[in-house]
Amino acid sequence: MATYGANDLRVGVKIIINGDPYTVVESDFVKPGKGQAFTRCRVRNLKTGRTIEQTFKSTETAEAADVEDRDMEYLYTDGSAWTFMDSASFEQLEANEAAMGDAVKWLKGNEKCIVTLWNGVPLQVTTPNFAELKITQTDPGVRGDTATGGTKPATLETGAVVKVPLYMEEGEILKIDTRTGEYVSRVKA
């Protein structure tokens, strides 16, 4: 079993706490001059995304989490599993709904994603920062209104609903920032 000493718990290191995989997002060495030293960390749960504080005695170790990020291409879904292919080895893996999270909103096929694997099983899927998707349904636009800054909901080809400017029409393609889920611009067809 691979372990990290408390002094090696630097930002980005992945460890197991209470059976779950975590990544260290902040780490600080604290020690009263004449007393016990601690490594005080902020760690993010890779399954839930929740961040907590966790402290380790300087003499302790933490179990390393077998977590790796792999470049994979999204292929297709059957509605309950999402299939990805390793771009180098052509190995295929299935991610479940929990691992997909918000990624389902932005994928239609052939996107290059980062799939985070824990013990070889997809844990998290990170989509490209931007997606270009077609509007399948939205209320009729207000022609020429490019100035007022109002928005309306639009349903995209992946089923995601985003806020778009009033002048956008069905059939148009738009660019979305997948990190925030916000409209960026209209894409010229």
Partner 1 sequence: MNLTALHERARLYQQVRVFFAGRQVLEVETPALSQAGNTDPFIDSFSVNTGNTLRWLHTSPEYPMKRLLAAGSGDIYQLCKVWRKDESGRHHNPEFTMLEWYRLGFTYPQLMQEVAELLLALIPHLQQPPRFCTYRELFLETLGIDPHLAGEAELANCAHEHGVNIDSSMSAQGWRDLLLTHCVESAFPADRLTFIYHYPAAQSALAKREYSNGQAVAQRFEVYLGALELGNGYQEQTDAAQNRQILEQDAAARGHDVPVDERFLAALESGLPECAGVAIGIDRVLMCRMQVNDIKQVIAFPWEVA
Residues interacting with partner 1, by CB under 8 A?
A: 7, 17-18, 28-38, 40, 52-58, 60
Strand partners, 73: 85, 112
Query: CA–CA separation, 169 vs 122, rounded Å?
Result: 37
Most distant CA pair in the chain, distance: 72
Shorter beta-carbon distance to partner 1: residue 15 or 99: 15
In angstroms, give the least distance from the CB of 2 to partner 1: 18
CB of 31 to partner 1, least distance (A): 6
3-class DSSP assignment, residue 188: coil
CB of 185 to partner 1, least distance (A): 40
CB-wise, 40 or 70, nearer to partner 1?
40
CB of 38 to partner 1, least distance (A): 6
The smaller minimum CB distance to partner 1, of residues 19 and 159, is found at 19
Q: Can you read off the two tokens belonging to residue 48?
A: 């839930």
Residue 61 to residues 4, 17, 43, 56, 58: CA-CA distances in angstroms? 5, 11, 15, 8, 8
Closest separation between CB of residue 36 and partner 1, Å? 4
Give the CA distances from residue 163 to residues 121, 166, 171, in Å, rounded to whole numbers and listed in that order: 34, 9, 15
**Of 52 and 98, CB closest to partner 1:** 52
Asked if 43 contacts 52 with a C-beta cutoff of 8 angstroms, the reply is yes
Q: Which is nearer to partner 1, 33 or 159 (CB)?
A: 33
